[in-house]
A and B are shown apart, each in its own frame.
Chain A
């Protein structure tokens, strides 16, 4: 059968087209029950796939409302609103109608994706019934019938059909819409609302908590706390008429009663304050805002207000705080547009991570999100005692007018608060790192053990087992993906080889393991945990180029003269046997030990010599040497508590390995671009816009150095020249600053950009790619595949050559890499906090920036950046700030940027979700401000100590305010900081 669907659609250039689509109606769509004889016949006749069991007889839905087992048919609104409930394993044997699936896809893509992953999971027994193509369930949309009514009619039609088709089975229709329910009941369809159904489940345990609270279910307590929102139509009308403005709401982190709305066409964001101003907007929402008359405009309050509410009913404290805002002095010059939120155009609610705090026992709990921009959320749970010890995930369902807090529901618990595993989980979740166990399907792709090298393998690979190859890595490294060799082949020729683990031999395109690796994109390193991109068997064994074991490698071999000029380059797959897997330190010792004269020592020395030449040459071309304090945290292997934090030591050998990796990457980049001009996967580092360098140039100026930023080369030279005899660390500081000016390096397929944009700014090379770490980076696997095709060792496959697919892939790689970096840093930060817990230490630091009321201090030993406040709020400051010179002066002590200081570091754990460092000045000593060094005061009486702690507590309370502001800055700086780390 055949029919058409018509609709009008707008095209890109603003014209309206009438689209007509075919719509075939079939008689071979099955109901999905293996017990259904007539449908089985159809399936057998048509020979469509295997007749896998869509429904399970083992899974039984038990609900008091229905006698015995039954099957569920869901309405669209149930899927859209109650996804968290549906994700619970308790639900099975569910029929998803195609009408519903399409509607969900149309309304919310994230929900659709979640639904699809349930459907794809065979153990859940969700069956998609294509009702809109089935001859008995298809109905025509009637003249003047609204699309929603039509869809509802389709759903009811399918329910009735199932009921008639399988009279022995019970089908239950779940909907959230009262009207739908009424009509369905009229048509004799067994119908319940989702909450009715869930509350009557026999085994409801946690599921009940996950029910989304639809606003109508909240008892009306009389008093409205918020002004009513305008209807969407009114909002759009208002925006069109220019009376209202549309923008994204950003909540202030410091003041829960303040927020900003960025509106196109306004230079400044519109300020909204208080209950009336915010009117239930949540960070990220797209809202409509009404602007006040100019005389009511105000300035940002700059005061810190924390929501201390613990119960929902009482808003006295809230009213009090609103008054406080009103009182806050309005600076004349700083008047900004002010308004109030009159309605929400689109909510951007998602899942939030946090803890429980407050509430009324047995009635509801208050959830405090770790993200300060998000309000507290009211949830109902029957397991409050347990959840109070946990970090958990909660989502918002609604925010009724008469409720102080938004209403949400519990999604799941992550683990005990403050526990390493929990915090790791939080870090991984917050950075969207895929970290579930590898699936069975993925593990099936692994080679069988024992793994042996066959004759066929040998015939296809160059045998390099006789060559003295060794690897140099950080201590404790188990995923060794590179090894090196160097030997004399002629009087004036050297042969240098870089051997990279041949991961692409094991990970074949399109297999489950390949898809999983592509999605993970990178191995993520947390302080005490590694989330592998490929299963351990590969990452730490078969691919890892361990000493003394025969391994497959992809080799890049150069012939060089003693001046490190490349005479020839070749690439081939090989079999190697690394003679030794060394640490940087061990390798360094061998090089330095003149008594050693074996092949390894000779090779290392040769490599080292060449590397130095290569490095000099590279720097001459304008490559940047940047710095970022990188720290290593030593863990107690049993308690998993950090024992020591130290800066990573660097040896000459670090640089040696790095040089050859760079060289290999560059050589490979040239080769693959030559053979695949359209789809070579490369890595570029864009030149930063000159405004990015402003802080660096300014800092240089105050110190009397002229930092040139016109080109990479000039920047490199001027950084080299900025040396101070009195302060050896100054140069490093400048480089740290320079690092923060950089943009992120990214992967891209060569066909998507102009050749001039391929440039790598940091390394100052026109072409670059990643070839040397295929065990931990997916980009390298792709590059390996490309190179394998180039040198005839492997064949292509379609996606490899598809520019658009590669482009999509790159986007995922870039995203995951960025997130992996952030996750790594967050993990370091957490562990540093853990390390400092209960400790008070004096540490050496440097002034990074001079601020109006504070000094930004860098503690190189811990890679920490903290704020030292120079004045308490309200107190007269001892310091005089010179904005021109960027100095702070107190008596005869003057602080410049990059000055060395000693500070006392401790951790403020008052807020368990937001621990932070507190600094006190030790040296230079300023009367009335600094504290005595610990060593001296160690013998001093305890009371003094206590006094100090008290002081420090006080200070905390006041400093938290300004601290928070700076904390945010630190974070964003942090993000920039390590960009260079993995270029």
Chain B
């Protein structure tokens, strides 16, 4: 009935000029820091995330936490206080960050071959520098890259992506903050894109069941697209590091 909140113009462009099925620009880099065992930086549009991986190493704290058949994956999600439009009061420890840490853990455990490292711990730390929609996917994608940088064996990439519904009809992918605020419910999906397995699914509001399949399909496609982009970066990285040992030419 009303025209307000129209997220896609009648010529099919979103507010920032993307089409419904287009991701934001993704730029990423492996090995940004020397201290951690693996680190990565990713930009998805304006959303910027740093990830660092320490381990596998001896279990910190009480040994009682260690597990005999798998490694412990310890995740911490943190947001710089300046990352949001309005300044946050604290970087972590609030409800949302804790939830994010748990969700991150859920997605990563699904991909890491934890059974290879019993009695050990792997630390994954993510730090959001700029939050402009799709924080969780950016964190998952950054963590994946950092794990790869750390040389930790993975079953496959784990990628995440958001999707929503524009104008109540058109599924659209990779939701920016502006769209998040204006639009309807957002679906966040973390998946193993090669085997097309969903490892985490979250909805910000109620979704009508009629819409769910197509939005989910769109989000999964997004995960595949992201995986392809990450893949290019990883192989370039391998080429670069390996150039002295001529690894790069072997692939």
| B168 / chain A contacts, CB cutoff of 8 Å | 798-799
B55 within 8 A of A: no
Chain B residue, CB-CB nearest to A3: B17
- CB-CB under 8 A from B12, the residues of chain A are 48-49
Q: Is the CB of A22 within 8 A of B10?
A: no
Q: Is the pair B46, A798 in contact by a Cβ cutoff of 8 Å?
A: no
Residues A506-522 near B (CB distance < 8 A): 515, 518-519
For chain B, residues 118 to 165, give those with C-beta under 8 angstroms from any C-beta of chain A: 132
Query: Is B1 a contact partner of A519 (Cβ separation < 8 A)?
Result: yes
Binds B, one of A12-20, A255-263, A288-296, A341-349: A12-20
Q: Which residues of B contact A23 (CB under 8 A)?
A: 16-17
Per-residue A-contact encoding for B192-214, CB less than 8 Å = 1, 0 else: 00000000000000111011000
- A798→B208 contact, CB < 8 A: yes
Q: Determine if A812 is an interface residue (Cβ-Cβ < 8 Å).
A: yes
Judge whether B178 is part of the interface by a CB distance below 8 angstroms.
Answer: yes
Q: Which residue of A lies closest to B45 (CB)?
A: A22
The reply to whether A22 and B46 form a contact with Cβ atoms under 8 Å apart is: yes
A340 to B11, CA, bound (A): 50
A862 to B71, alpha carbons, bound, how many Å?
A: 89
Is A119 on the interface with B (CB-CB < 8 A)?
yes
Q: How far is the CB of B110 from chain A (nearest CB, A)?
A: 30
Is the beta-carbon distance between A20 and B3 smaller than 8 angstroms?
A: no
Q: Does B9 contact A (CB under 8 A)?
A: yes
Q: Please, how many angstroms separate the alpha-carbon atoms of A493 and B161 in the complex?
A: 62
Can you list, as one digit per residue, whether each of A1-45 has a CB less than 8 Å from chain B (1) or not (0)? Answer: 010100000010001011111111110010000000000000000
Interface string of A941-971 (1 = CB under 8 A from B): 0000000000000000000000000000000
* B 36-47 binary contact with A (CB < 8 Å = 1; else 0): 000000000110
Q: Taking each of A18, A24, A116, which has the highest tally of chain B beta carbons within 10 Å of its own beta carbon?
A: A24
Residue of B nearest to A48 (CB): B12
- Chain A's closest residue to B207 (CB) is A798
- Asked if B244 CB lies within 8 Å of chain A CBs, one says no
CB of B210, distance to nearest CB on chain A (Å): 7
> Does A120 belong to the interface (CB within 8 Å)?
yes
User: What separation, in Å, do the CA atoms of A132 and B176 have in the docked complex?
Assistant: 19
> Which residues of A469-527 are within 8 A (CB) of B?
515, 518-519
Q: B25 at interface (Cβ–Cβ under 8 A)?
A: yes
CB contacts (< 8 Å) of B17 on chain A: these are 22-26, 130, 132-133
- How many angstroms between the C-alpha atoms of A812 and B11 in the bound complex? 28
Give which listed residue, B16, B206, B208, B211, contacts A22 with CB less than 8 A: B16
Residues of B with C-beta under 8 A to A132: 17
Contact A20 B86 (CB under 8 A): no
Task: Name the A residues within 8 Å of B18 (CB-CB).
Answer: 24
8 A Cβ contacts from A111-141 to B:
113, 116, 119-120, 128, 130, 132-133
Of residues 204 through 227 on chain B, the ones whose CB sits less than 8 Å from some CB of chain A are 206-208, 210-211
A149 at the interface (CB under 8 A from B): no
- Chain A residues closer than 8 Å to B85, beta-carbon distance: 11, 17-19
Task: Check A24 against B3 for contact (C-beta < 8 Å).
Answer: no
Query: Cβ of B2 < 8 Å from any Cβ of A?
Result: yes
Beta-carbon contact of A21 and B9 below 8 Å:
no
Docked-complex contact B206 and A128, CB < 8 angstroms: no
Contact of A128 among B9, B16, B24 (CB under 8 A): B9
For A809, list chain B residues within 8 Å (CB).
1
Q: How far is the CA of A25 from the CA of B17 in the complex (A)?
A: 7
Q: In the assembled complex, which residues on chain A have CB atoms less than 8 Å from the CB atom of B11?
A: 29, 128, 130
Question: Which single member of B13, B206, B208 contacts A133 (CB below 8 Å)?
Answer: B13
Chain A interface: which size bin? 35 or more
Give every chain A residue within 8 A of B3 (Cβ-Cβ): 113, 116
Q: A2-B25, A519-B1 are in contact. Are A21 and B208 (CB under 8 A)?
A: no
Q: Does A563 contact B (CB under 8 A)?
A: no
A52 to chain B, nearest CB (A): 11
**From A30, which residue of chain B is reached at the shortest CB distance?**
B11
Interface membership of A675, Cβ < 8 A: no
User: B residues within 8 A CB of A799?
Assistant: 168
CA distance A44 to B219 in the complex (A): 25
Among B13, B46, B178, B207, which residue has its beta carbon within 8 angstroms of that of A4?
B46
Please judge, given known A-B contacts A24-B16, A48-B12, whether A812 and B86 are in contact too, CB under 8 Å.
Answer: no
Chain A residues positioned under 8 Å from B211 (CB to CB): 798
CB distance from B206 to the nearest CB of A (A): 7
Name the CB-closest residue of B to A138. B17
Mark interface residues in A596-620 (1 if CB within 8 Å of B CB, else 0): 0000000000000000000000000
Cα distance A46–B69 in the bound complex, in angstroms = 51
Asked whether A797 is an interface residue with its Cβ less than 8 Å from the other chain, the reply is yes
Whether A812 contacts B210 by the Cβ 8 Å rule is no
**Contact between A797 and B206 (Cβ–Cβ < 8 Å)?**
no
The distance in angstroms between the C-alpha atoms of A808 and B85, with both chains bound, is: 29
B107 to nearest A CB, angstroms? 25
A801 on the B face (CB < 8 A): yes
Q: Roughly how many angstroms separate A812 CA and B1 CA in the complex, as a whole number?
A: 10
- Asked whether B1 lies within 8 Å of A515 as measured between CB atoms, the reply is yes
Roughly how many angstroms separate A144 CA and B15 CA in the complex, as a whole number? Answer: 25
Give every chain B residue within 8 A of A17 (Cβ-Cβ).
Answer: 85-86
Q: Does A796 contact B (CB under 8 A)?
A: yes
**B45 partner residues in chain A, CB cutoff 8 A:** 22
A799 to B3, CA, bound (A): 15
B10 neighbours in A (Cβ, 8 Å): 119-120, 128
Kindly identify, within residues 21 to 45 of chain B, every residue whose CB is under 8 Å from any CB belonging to chain A.
24-25, 45
Say how far B184's CB is from chain A's closest CB, in angstroms.
8
Min Cβ gap B176→A in Å is 7
Chain A residues within 8 Å of B210, by CB: 797-798
Asked if A21 contacts B1 (CB within 8 A), the reply is no
Closest CB in chain A relative to B45 CB, distance in Å: 5
- Return A244 CB to nearest CB of chain B, in Å: 34
A797-B12 Cα distance, complex, nearest whole Å: 24
Q: Please pick, from B13, B24, B25, B176, the residue contacting A130 in the complex, using a CB distance under 8 A.
A: B13
Contact B208 A808 (CB under 8 A): no
Contact B16 A130 (CB under 8 A): no
Contact A797 B46 (CB under 8 A): no
Q: Which A residues are in CB contact (< 8 Å) with B13?
A: 26, 130, 133
CB-based nearest B residue for A134: B17
Q: Complex Cα distance A479/B27, Å? A: 64
A2 vs B207: C-alpha distance when bound (angstroms): 32
Q: Is the CB of A15 within 8 A of B86?
A: yes
Bound Cα distance A11, B86 (Å): 9
Find residues 779-830 in chain A having any chain B CB closer than 8 Å to their own CB: 796-799, 801, 808-809, 812
Report chain B residues within 8 Å CB of A519.
1
Q: Are A797 and B208 in contact (CB under 8 A)?
A: yes
Contact A808 B2 (CB under 8 A): yes
Can you list, as one digit per residue, whether each of B93-129 has a CB less than 8 Å from chain A (1) or not (0)?
0000000000000000000000000000000000000
In the assembly, what is the distance between CA of A243 and CA of B204, in Å? Answer: 50
29 contacts between A and B (CB under 8 A): A2-B25, A17-B86, A19-B85, A20-B46, A20-B132, A21-B15, A22-B16, A22-B17, A22-B25, A22-B45, A22-B46, A22-B132, A22-B176, A25-B17, A128-B11, A130-B9, A130-B13, A130-B17, A515-B1, A518-B1, A519-B1, A797-B210, A798-B207, A798-B210, A798-B211, A799-B168, A801-B208, A809-B1, A812-B1
| Inter-chain pairs besides A48-B19, A798-B207, 19 sampled, C-beta below 8 Å | A11-B86, A20-B46, A21-B15, A21-B46, A22-B16, A22-B17, A22-B132, A24-B17, A24-B18, A24-B25, A49-B12, A116-B3, A130-B17, A797-B208, A798-B168, A798-B210, A798-B211, A808-B1, A808-B2
Q: Which 9 A-B pairs have the closest CB atoms?
A: A798-B208, A24-B17, A133-B17, A22-B16, A17-B85, A2-B25, A22-B45, A24-B18, A24-B16
